[in-house]
Chain A
Amino acid sequence: MSDILLSLKGVKTYYGKIVALRGIDLDVHRGEIVTVIGANGAGKSTTMMTICGVTRAREGQIIYDGENITTLPTHQIVKKAIAQSPEGRRIFGRMTVLENLQMGAAVIDYAHFEEDLRMVYDLFPILEKRQSQRGGTLSGGEQQMLAIGRALMARPKLLMLDEPSLGLAPLVVKQIFEVVKELNEKQGLTVFLVEQNAYHALRLAHRGYVMINGQITMSGGGKELLSNPEVQAAYLEGGRH
């Protein structure tokens, strides 16, 4: 068993004629938190969507757990224990919190449902209080927790998060990132994190990639990137955040 869980090799993705990814190479090792940071429109979300096949790579390969998953149908990719909290959370607004969580477990046929539900409720106690409330009526932070919880219900090996900090108060961001860290440390969960909030993301991640205009321009350890003057200038407003 190789150490690398996910690797993208020269992945190019287009929306019609518009190129969104111009050949992405990146690796995610088992047990690692890897982050991709970049400005609006850099192609971060596209990278995530391409990995799980919602948008398709036109060139290049996506290798997951030693298997080429580039052309598999989305539902089969997800079956391989890749779960995600997509951009904009995409909560099922008219369904209750509990039903949302249940949808997360659908892919593993609700095996260990009660147990996993307990685990998610322990991570995010607010979800238990809100379990019969409609997803659409939750606050932004609660929705983000629900999106992550829903992803965890699938017992993923690889958890992908798209901008979990978007629009949330600093305290909530901290709470969510703490949970991600805990999951990674205690359960050895591999996390692929896409963020604009470079400061938090790089502090949390073991390694990071910087994406500009559909290309990876820099990579390195989280702390290393954090202290890189270029990164600081572009994403951390000269070190402040």
Chain B
Amino acid sequence: MSDFLQTRVGAALKDAALAAVITLLLASIMVGLRTKTEQGGLVIVGQWGLVAWMVGVVFVGRLAMSLLIWRGNNPVANAMNAMLPKQDTVSKIGKLVGPLLLLFAVTLPFYGNRYVIDMGILVLTYIMLGWGLNIVVGLAGLLDLGYVAFYAVGAYSYALFAQYFDLSFWVCLPLAGILAAFWGMILGFPVLRLRGDYLAIVTLAFGEIIRVVLLNWYEFTGGPDGISRIPRPSFFGLEFTRKNGFADFFGLDYSSMHRIIFLFYLILILALITNFVTMRLRKLPIGRAWEALREDEIACRSLGINTTNTKLTAFALGAMFGGFAGAFFATRQGFISPESFTFMESAIILAIVVLGGLGSQLGVVIASLVMIGGFEVFRDLEDLRMLVFGLLMVGIMIWKPRGIVSSRAPSVFLKEKKSVSGDLVAEGEG
């Protein structure tokens, strides 16, 4: 018996039993006995079933926590890890996964039904947003909790330009990006000296301010009513209409699917541009400066990096891609209101970036698929959906504390080519 208690499972059981006893004691008094008003005064009723439940939950929960999470060498997470390929192989597979996913995306409209393609559009929108935010959070290390603000700026820019000036989507798209970038700088200036938690709070507030302004500036933005009948995008001037549109021009039978497929490719291209630009920038001095800034700001300054410019460009570029995505969102939905730009959106996008592994482009894709796809798959579970979803996220974080793709590919190689794996660095794991 004493041998058994010395094993980890034994110790965990003992610990869980102790916690259960404490719960029993506390719950007996506080929950088990309940006073009730009846005719003739107070009576005491027992709620022992509830107490039993609580004790059970504490026991199981505590046991699970100490086996799975608290201990350094936790058997379950290790077992999960052992089932997975090693990081080295992952980066080899990673080289294949990217192109395969791209191939999958490009060919999706040929065999997907409308529901699947709609889902694809949604996932791609989040991938694009994730990639945009990845510049700010993943590369430059600036924790931004108000990213949705730029998404909103982009969406409203297009909607308002279209409403007041009758400008087309293709004219508004760059405008939306520029305006969002401009707002990115506006946010950037006051927070230049802030880091970490403080930065997070201010960006959170910024996101809310934008939403509140949109909500209350009734004459201009329509307030809570939002803006409806936002024009749909055209295909080089060809509308997706029943008559004299895209279908007629190409001699096709009219189908409402044309527009959906067009939107799908549009967001795919926008997202790919985001990815391409980010990958290019990572190899340029500015991209390296972002990463260095994430690592150590003082070192950056003492190396002669202009940290002000570096931060502002990160904010501006991240915001710009958010703006593009916003304009796309507006044209796709045809209707926008401040409802769509709540903190929840920022949180989801940030979760995608963090779960994906800060700074990893492929990680963002996988995390978007898991998260947005997960939302859909669990749709039937109604209330349980968030719970299942939360568990999923906790699971990923136990199993991969540094995100799904934790290896960081160096931006330069000279002679040998070798990925530097996250596994080489033990800190923060376990």
Question: In the complex, what residues of A have CB within 8 A of residue B292's CB?
Answer: 92, 95, 103
Contact of A86 with B298 at beta-carbon distance under 8 Å, contacts A99-B410, A106-B304, A131-B414 already known: yes
Q: Is B291 an interface residue (CB 8 A)?
A: yes
Closest chain A CB from B289 CB (angstroms): 7
Question: In the complex, what residues of A have CB within 8 A of residue B425's CB?
Answer: 93-94, 134, 136-137
Select B412's contact among A91, A98, A134, beta carbons within 8 Å. Answer: A98
Please give me the residue from chain A that is nearest to B409 by CB atom: A96
Contact of A95 with B302 at beta-carbon distance under 8 Å, contacts A110-B285, A136-B425, A137-B425 already known: no
Q: Is A176 an interface residue (CB 8 A)?
A: no
Q: Is B193 an interface residue (CB 8 A)?
A: no
What per-residue 1/0 map shows which CB atoms of A156-183 lie under 8 Å from chain B? 0000000000000000000000000000
Interface positions of B from 294 to 340, Cβ below 8 Å from A: 294-296, 298-307
Closest chain A CB from B253 CB (angstroms): 55
Contact of A98 with B304 at beta-carbon distance under 8 Å, contacts A106-B285, A106-B289 already known: no
Q: How many A-B residue pairs have CB under 8 A?
A: 98
Contact in complex: B410, A107 (CB < 8 Å): no
Contact of A107 with B304 at beta-carbon distance under 8 Å, contacts A92-B291, A92-B299 already known: yes
Chain A: number of interface residues, binned into ranges: 20 to 34
Q: How far is the CA of A73 from the CA of B307 in the complex (A)?
A: 11
Contact in complex: B420, A133 (CB < 8 Å): yes
Contact in complex: B410, A78 (CB < 8 Å): no
Question: In the complex, what residues of A have CB within 8 A of residue B380's CB?
Answer: none
Contact in complex: A96, B291 (CB < 8 Å): no
Q: Is A104 an interface residue (CB 8 A)?
A: yes
Question: In the complex, what residues of A have CB within 8 A of residue B414's CB?
Answer: 98, 131
Contact in complex: B285, A95 (CB < 8 Å): no
Closest chain B CB from A92 CB (angstroms): 4
Closest chain B CB from A167 CB (angstroms): 18
Contact of A132 with B420 at beta-carbon distance under 8 Å, contacts A98-B412, A99-B412, A106-B285 already known: yes
Contact in complex: B304, A54 (CB < 8 Å): no
Q: How far is the CA of A175 from the CA of B302 in the complex (A)?
A: 25
Q: Is A210 an interface residue (CB 8 A)?
A: no
Question: In the complex, what residues of A have CB within 8 A of residue B411's CB?
Answer: 99
What per-residue 1/0 map shows which CB atoms of B274-302 lie under 8 Å from chain A? 00000000000100110110111011111
Q: Is A84 an interface residue (CB 8 A)?
A: yes
Contact in complex: B304, A75 (CB < 8 Å): yes
Contact in complex: A103, B410 (CB < 8 Å): no
Please give me the residue from chain B that is nearest to A98 by CB atom: B412
Please give me the residue from chain B that is nearest to A92 by CB atom: B295
Q: How far is the CA of A31 from the CA of B427 in the complex (A)?
A: 42
What per-residue 1/0 map shows which CB atoms of A84-128 lie under 8 Å from chain B? 101000111111101100111011011000000000000000000
Q: Is A12 an interface residue (CB 8 A)?
A: no
Select A75's contact among B291, B301, B413, B424, beta carbons within 8 Å. Answer: B301
Contact in complex: B303, A107 (CB < 8 Å): yes
Select B410's contact among A93, A96, A154, beta carbons within 8 Å. Answer: A96
Contact in complex: B303, A137 (CB < 8 Å): no
Contact of A90 with B296 at beta-carbon distance under 8 Å, contacts A103-B288, A106-B288 already known: yes
Select A78's contact among B303, B416, B424, beta carbons within 8 Å. Answer: B303
Contact of A74 with B424 at beta-carbon distance under 8 Å, contacts A92-B291, A95-B291, A132-B413 already known: no
Interface positions of B from 63 to 98, Cβ below 8 Å from A: none
Question: In the complex, what residues of A have CB within 8 A of residue B412's CB?
Answer: 96, 98-99, 102
Cβ-closest 4 pairs across A and B: A107-B304, A78-B304, A90-B299, A92-B295
A selection of 28 A-B contacts at a CB cut-off of 8 Å is A52-B301, A52-B302, A54-B301, A73-B306, A78-B302, A78-B304, A86-B298, A94-B295, A94-B408, A94-B425, A95-B410, A96-B412, A98-B412, A98-B414, A99-B288, A99-B410, A99-B411, A103-B288, A103-B303, A104-B303, A106-B288, A106-B303, A106-B304, A107-B305, A109-B285, A110-B285, A132-B418, A134-B424
State the B residues within 8 Å of A (CB): 285, 288-289, 291-292, 294-296, 298-307, 408, 410-414, 416, 418, 420, 424-425, 427
State the A residues within 8 Å of B (CB): 52, 54, 73-75, 78-79, 83-84, 86, 90-96, 98-99, 102-104, 106-107, 109-110, 131-134, 136-137, 150, 154
Q: A52-B302, A78-B302, A78-B303 are in contact. List 14 more A-B contacts (CB 8 A).
A: A54-B302, A74-B304, A75-B301, A86-B299, A90-B298, A91-B299, A92-B292, A92-B296, A99-B411, A103-B305, A106-B288, A132-B413, A136-B425, A137-B424
